Chain A
Amino acid sequence: MAKKKKVSWFWTWVIGSVVLRLILIYFPENLNLSSRPEVSTPLTSLRRLAEGYWLKQLSVSPYAGSMYHGSPLLLTLLGPLTVKRIEGQPDHLLCSLVFVIADVVSAMLICAAGGKLQVAYSSSLQLLGLRDLSENSELLPSGDFAALVYLWNPFTIVACVGLSTSAVENLMIVLSLYGACSGLAPLAAFGWVMATHLSLYPAILIIPLILLLGYGPDAPPRKLFWQRNSLEVGTSSDICSEEKAKNQLKVADVFSWRPVVSFLLWTLLWSSYILVLCSIYVQQYGGLQELFKRTYGFILTIQDLSPNIGVLWYFFAEVFDFFRNFFLIVFHGNILLMLAPLALRLNHRPCFLAFVYIVISSMLKSYPSVGDSALYLGLLGLFAYELKDMQFSFFLLSGYVGVSLLSPVMHNLWIWRGTGNANFYFATAIAYACLQIILVVESVSAMLNHDRTLTKLCAAKAPPSMVAGISSSDYQNILLNAAPFFTPLLLPLHFPPPFPDLTILSLNLSKT
Chain B
Amino acid sequence: MGLPPKATFPLSLLLLFFLFLVLSTSAQQEEFSEELLLKPLPDRKVLAHFHFQNEAPLAADSFARHHHLFPKSISQLVQKFHIKAMELSFTQGRWNYERWGGFDPISSHNAKPPGVELWAVFDVPLHLVDASWRNLTHSLSGLFCTSINFLESSTAYSSPEWAFQSALGSLRYGTLPREAVCTENLTPWLKLLPCRDKAGLSSLMDRPSIYRSFYHSQRLHLTMSSAASDGSRSGIILEQTLTVVLQPNDQNAGMSNVGEIKIQPSWSLSSIFGRKISGRCVLAKLSNVYLHADRGLVAQLETSQKNTAHFATNDTGPEDFRRNSGFELSVAPKRVLKELDKSSSVLYEYPIKEYKDIEQFDLGLMWEHPIVWSSPHAPFYASRFLVGSGNERGAIAISLKSTEMTQQLVANNIEDSCKLQVNVLQVVPWYVKVYYHTLQLLVDERPQVLTDFIERMRVSPSEDKVSPGMMELVLQVPCAMKSAVLSIEFDKGFLHIDEYPPDANQGFDIPSAIISFPDFHAGLQFYDKSQSKSPLLSKLQEKSPVLSYTEVLLVPLTTPDFSMPYNVITITCTIFALYFGSLLNVLRRRVGEEERLLKNKDAKKGVFLRQVLTNLSAKLRGKPLESTPSVSSSSSSSSSSFVSPKLILRVLLVAGIAIAWQYYSQ
Binding site for B on A (CB under 8 A): 35, 47, 50-51, 53-55, 58, 60, 64-67, 303-307, 311-321, 330-331, 334, 337-338, 341-342, 345, 363-364, 414-416, 418, 421-423, 426, 430, 433-434, 437, 440-441, 444-445, 448, 452, 472, 491, 494-495, 497, 499, 502-503, 506-507, 509-511
Interface size class of B (residues with CB under 8 A): 35 or more
**Whole-angstrom CA separation of A272 from B462 in the bound complex:** 32
Tell me whether B459 and A60 are in contact (CB under 8 A). Answer: yes
B-chain residues with CB within 8 Å of residue A472 when the two chains form the complex: 590, 593
A503-B580 contact in complex given A319-B565, A414-B558, A423-B564, C-beta closer than 8 Å: yes
A-chain residues with CB within 8 Å of residue B569 when the two chains form the complex: 315, 318-319, 510
Q: Which of B58-66, B266-274, B488-496 contacts A (4 or more CB under 8 A)?
A: B488-496
**Whole-angstrom CA separation of A65 from B584 in the bound complex:** 42
Interface flag for B389 (CB, 8 Å): yes
B-chain residues with CB within 8 Å of residue A426 when the two chains form the complex: 568
Give the residue name and chain of the B residue nearest to A82 (CB). Answer: B437
Tell me whether B560 and A320 are in contact (CB under 8 A). Answer: no
Q: Which of B184-192, B370-378, B428-436 contacts A (4 or more CB under 8 A)?
A: B428-436
CB of A469 to closest CB in B, whole Å: 15
A-chain residues with CB within 8 Å of residue B495 when the two chains form the complex: 305, 317
B-chain residues with CB within 8 Å of residue A319 when the two chains form the complex: 565, 568-569
Interface flag for B603 (CB, 8 Å): no
**Whole-angstrom CA separation of A306 from B495 in the bound complex:** 8
Give the residue name and chain of the B residue nearest to A443 (CB). Answer: B586
Chain B contacts with A in 443-476, Cβ cutoff 8 A: 457, 459-465, 469
A-chain residues with CB within 8 Å of residue B528 when the two chains form the complex: none
Give the residue name and chain of the A residue nearest to B596 (CB). Answer: A472
A-chain residues with CB within 8 Å of residue B579 when the two chains form the complex: 334, 363-364, 437, 440-441
A421-B561 contact in complex given A437-B582, A499-B581, C-beta closer than 8 Å: yes
Q: Which of B77-85, B136-144, B570-578 contacts A (4 or more CB under 8 A)?
A: B570-578
- Give me 10 other A-B pairs in contact (C-beta within 8 A), A345-B587, A499-B581 excluded: A50-B437, A51-B435, A66-B430, A66-B462, A317-B494, A318-B560, A330-B576, A415-B390, A422-B564, A499-B584
27 A-B contacts (beta carbon < 8 Å): A50-B437, A55-B461, A60-B461, A66-B461, A66-B463, A67-B433, A305-B496, A312-B572, A313-B494, A318-B560, A319-B569, A334-B576, A341-B587, A363-B579, A416-B389, A422-B559, A430-B571, A433-B575, A434-B575, A437-B578, A502-B581, A502-B584, A506-B576, A507-B574, A510-B569, A510-B570, A511-B570
**Whole-angstrom CA separation of A433 from B573 in the bound complex:** 12
Chain B contacts with A in 386-409, Cβ cutoff 8 A: 389-393
Tell me whether B565 and A51 are in contact (CB under 8 A). Answer: no
User: Which residue of B391, B435, B576 contacts A67 across the interface (Cβ within 8 Å)?
Assistant: B435
Tell me whether A441 and B583 are in contact (CB under 8 A). Answer: yes
Tell me whether B560 and A422 are in contact (CB under 8 A). Answer: yes
CB of B364 to closest CB in A, whole Å: 53
User: Which residue of B572, B573, B583, B585 contacts A507 across the interface (Cβ within 8 Å)?
Assistant: B573
A-chain residues with CB within 8 Å of residue B571 when the two chains form the complex: 430
Tell me whether A503 and B568 are in contact (CB under 8 A). Answer: no
Taking each of B392, B457, B498, B565, which has the highest tally of chain A beta carbons within 10 Å of its own beta carbon? B392
**Whole-angstrom CA separation of A271 from B576 in the bound complex:** 33
Tell me whether A510 and B577 are in contact (CB under 8 A). Answer: yes
Tell me whether B460 and A64 are in contact (CB under 8 A). Answer: yes
Give the residue name and chain of the B residue nearest to A448 (CB). Answer: B586
CB of B361 to closest CB in A, whole Å: 57
Interface flag for B180 (CB, 8 Å): no
Tell me whether A509 and B573 are in contact (CB under 8 A). Answer: yes
Taking each of B435, B436, B457, B587, which has the highest tally of chain A beta carbons within 10 Å of its own beta carbon? B587
B-chain residues with CB within 8 Å of residue A303 when the two chains form the complex: 464-465
Interface flag for B255 (CB, 8 Å): no
Binding site for A on B (CB under 8 A): 389-393, 430, 433, 435-437, 457, 459-465, 469, 491, 493-498, 558-561, 564-565, 568-591, 593, 646, 649-650
Give the residue name and chain of the A residue nearest to B577 (CB). Answer: A506
Give the residue name and chain of the A residue nearest to B650 (CB). Answer: A495
A-chain residues with CB within 8 Å of residue B646 when the two chains form the complex: 494-495
User: Which residue of B461, B576, B578, B583 contacts A65 across the interface (Cβ within 8 Å)?
Assistant: B461
Sort A-B residue pairs by CB-CB distance and give the 10 closest, nearest first. Answer: A65-B461, A510-B573, A54-B437, A66-B464, A506-B577, A497-B588, A416-B390, A318-B565, A305-B494, A318-B568
Tell me whether A55 and B588 are in contact (CB under 8 A). Answer: no
User: Which residue of B574, B581, B583 contacts A444 across the interface (Cβ within 8 Å)?
Assistant: B583
CB of B212 to closest CB in A, whole Å: 36
Give the residue name and chain of the A residue nearest to B392 (CB). Answer: A415
Tell me whether B561 and A423 are in contact (CB under 8 A). Answer: yes
A-chain residues with CB within 8 Å of residue B498 when the two chains form the complex: 321
Tell me whether B560 and A499 are in contact (CB under 8 A). Answer: no
B-chain residues with CB within 8 Å of residue A502 when the two chains form the complex: 580-581, 584
Tell me whether B435 and A47 are in contact (CB under 8 A). Answer: yes
A320-B568 contact in complex given A303-B464, A304-B464, C-beta closer than 8 Å: no
**Whole-angstrom CA separation of A83 from B464 in the bound complex:** 26
CB of B344 to closest CB in A, whole Å: 45
CB of B501 to closest CB in A, whole Å: 16
**Whole-angstrom CA separation of A6 from B485 in the bound complex:** 59
Give the residue name and chain of the A residue nearest to B649 (CB). Answer: A491
User: Which residue of B433, B460, B494, B570 contacts A307 across the interface (Cβ within 8 Å)?
Assistant: B494
**Whole-angstrom CA separation of A307 from B462 in the bound complex:** 20
A-chain residues with CB within 8 Å of residue B576 when the two chains form the complex: 330-331, 334, 506
**Whole-angstrom CA separation of A449 from B572 in the bound complex:** 30
B-chain residues with CB within 8 Å of residue A510 when the two chains form the complex: 569-570, 572-574, 577
A-chain residues with CB within 8 Å of residue B574 when the two chains form the complex: 507, 510
**Whole-angstrom CA separation of A319 from B573 in the bound complex:** 12
**Whole-angstrom CA separation of A440 from B581 in the bound complex:** 12
A334-B578 contact in complex given A66-B462, A317-B494, C-beta closer than 8 Å: no
Tell me whether A416 and B588 are in contact (CB under 8 A). Answer: no
Tell me whether B581 and A67 are in contact (CB under 8 A). Answer: no
CB of A412 to closest CB in B, whole Å: 9
Give the residue name and chain of the B residue nearest to A504 (CB). Answer: B577
Tell me whether A51 and B437 are in contact (CB under 8 A). Answer: yes
**Whole-angstrom CA separation of A414 from B591 in the bound complex:** 47
CB of A66 to closest CB in B, whole Å: 4
Tell me whether A415 and B573 are in contact (CB under 8 A). Answer: no
**Whole-angstrom CA separation of A311 from B491 in the bound complex:** 21
A58-B459 contact in complex given A305-B494, A416-B392, A448-B586, C-beta closer than 8 Å: yes
Tell me whether A55 and B436 are in contact (CB under 8 A). Answer: yes
B-chain residues with CB within 8 Å of residue A317 when the two chains form the complex: 494-497, 560
Tell me whether A418 and B391 are in contact (CB under 8 A). Answer: yes
CB of B180 to closest CB in A, whole Å: 27
Give the residue name and chain of the A residue nearest to B466 (CB). Answer: A66
Give the residue name and chain of the B residue nearest to A61 (CB). Answer: B461
**Whole-angstrom CA separation of A54 from B461 in the bound complex:** 11
A-chain residues with CB within 8 Å of residue B464 when the two chains form the complex: 66, 303-304
B-chain residues with CB within 8 Å of residue A64 when the two chains form the complex: 460-461, 463
Tell me whether A503 and B577 are in contact (CB under 8 A). Answer: yes
B-chain residues with CB within 8 Å of residue A503 when the two chains form the complex: 577, 580-581
Give the residue name and chain of the B residue nearest to A440 (CB). Answer: B583
Give the residue name and chain of the A residue nearest to B653 (CB). Answer: A491
CB of B130 to closest CB in A, whole Å: 18
Give the residue name and chain of the A residue nearest to B646 (CB). Answer: A494
Give the residue name and chain of the B residue nearest to A509 (CB). Answer: B573
Tell me whether A444 and B558 are in contact (CB under 8 A). Answer: no
CB of B279 to closest CB in A, whole Å: 58
Tell me whether A337 and B580 are in contact (CB under 8 A). Answer: yes
User: Which residue of A306, A363, A448 contacts B494 across the interface (Cβ within 8 Å)?
Assistant: A306
Give the residue name and chain of the B residue nearest to A341 (CB). Answer: B587
Tell me whether A338 and B583 are in contact (CB under 8 A). Answer: yes
**Whole-angstrom CA separation of A437 from B585 in the bound complex:** 13
**Whole-angstrom CA separation of A378 from B497 in the bound complex:** 38
A-chain residues with CB within 8 Å of residue B389 when the two chains form the complex: 416
**Whole-angstrom CA separation of A53 from B558 in the bound complex:** 29
B-chain residues with CB within 8 Å of residue A495 when the two chains form the complex: 646, 650
**Whole-angstrom CA separation of A470 from B262 in the bound complex:** 109
User: Which residue of B390, B391, B433 contacts A66 across the interface (Cβ within 8 Å)?
Assistant: B433
